[in-house]
């Protein structure tokens, strides 16, 4: 019963985060009371907005105008729900994952994020992380990031709070592995797309998830 409630909670959160990111990316007010079809503008009823299930039942189409919006939404909602459910037992990882999902959707669409939303969470983590290793690593990451942003112009300023967040919730090895996996994924993307720019946060998010879930799998297998 508890697992089912946690799953439903995470499904609702993931669906809400995707909806909020979609509204921001399409410059739609967050104060709009109800969800609606972006193509025909028809207000959606409650059974049109059930996470995962509604998209599958509608086959990725609007019930009212039959415009196809994609079954990939159900896939993303399902994967996001499963992963966030796995992270739920560790609140810092869980909350960080929800933030990074939102920022990844933003960054992928506009190559910019509302990074200031992370500031209260960063303050909380700094207050509750007292060991010298984390604080020293965080200061080092901040210094390097500021250099990359303002001197080398090689990174966006919005990436700094995300990197600081990952530095505070990971140990040195975990953070280094995250950057390593992220770099490989980013290099593959740049090679395939033949471009010199990319939205960094989505790759950082995926790299971090790969490391975190791999660590959990190793602990489960060895235990």
Per residue of the chain (223 residues), give pLDDT as tens: 688 999 999 999 999 999 888 888 888 877 766 788 878 888 888 888 888 888 888 888 888 888 887 778 888 899 999 999 999 999 999 999 999 999 999 999 888 899 899 999 999 998 887 788 888 888 999 999 889 888 888 788 889 999 999 999 998 899 999 999 999 999 999 999 888 888 999 999 999 999 999 998 888 888 6
Does residue 101 contact residue 113 with C-beta atoms inside 8 Å? no
pTM over 0.85? The answer is: yes
Q: Which residues of 175-206 are buried (b: 16+ CB within 10 A; e: fewer)?
A: bebbbebbeebbeeeeeeeeeeebbbbbbbbb
3-state secondary structure of 47: helix
């Amino acid at each position: 019963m508890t697992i089912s409630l946690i799953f439903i909670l995470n499904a609702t959160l993931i669906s809400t985060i995707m909806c909020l990111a979609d509204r921001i990316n399409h410059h739609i007010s967050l104060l709009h009371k109800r969800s609606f079809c972006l193509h025909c503008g028809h207000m959606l009823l409650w059974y049109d907005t059930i996470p995962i299930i509604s998209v599958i039942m509608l086959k990725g189409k609007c019930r009212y105008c039959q415009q196809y919006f994609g079954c990939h939404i159900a896939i993303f909602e399902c994967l996001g729900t499963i992963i966030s459910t796995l992270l739920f037992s560790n609140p810092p990882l869980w909350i960080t994952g929800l933030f990074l999902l939102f920022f990844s959707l933003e960054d992928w669409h506009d190559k910019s994020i509302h990074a200031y939303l992370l500031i209260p969470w960063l303050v909380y983590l700094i207050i509750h992380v007292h060991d010298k290793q984390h604080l020293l690593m965080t200061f080092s990451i901040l210094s390097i990031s500021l250099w990359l942003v303002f001197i080398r112009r090689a990174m966006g300023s919005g990436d700094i709070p995300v990197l600081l967040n990952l530095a505070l919730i990971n140990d040195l090895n975990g953070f280094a592995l995250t950057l390593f996996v992220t770099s490989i994924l980013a290099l593959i993307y740049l090679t395939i797309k033949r471009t010199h720019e990319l939205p960094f946060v989505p790759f950082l998010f995926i790299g971090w998830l790969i490391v975190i879930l791999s660590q959990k799998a190793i602990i489960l297998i060895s235990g």
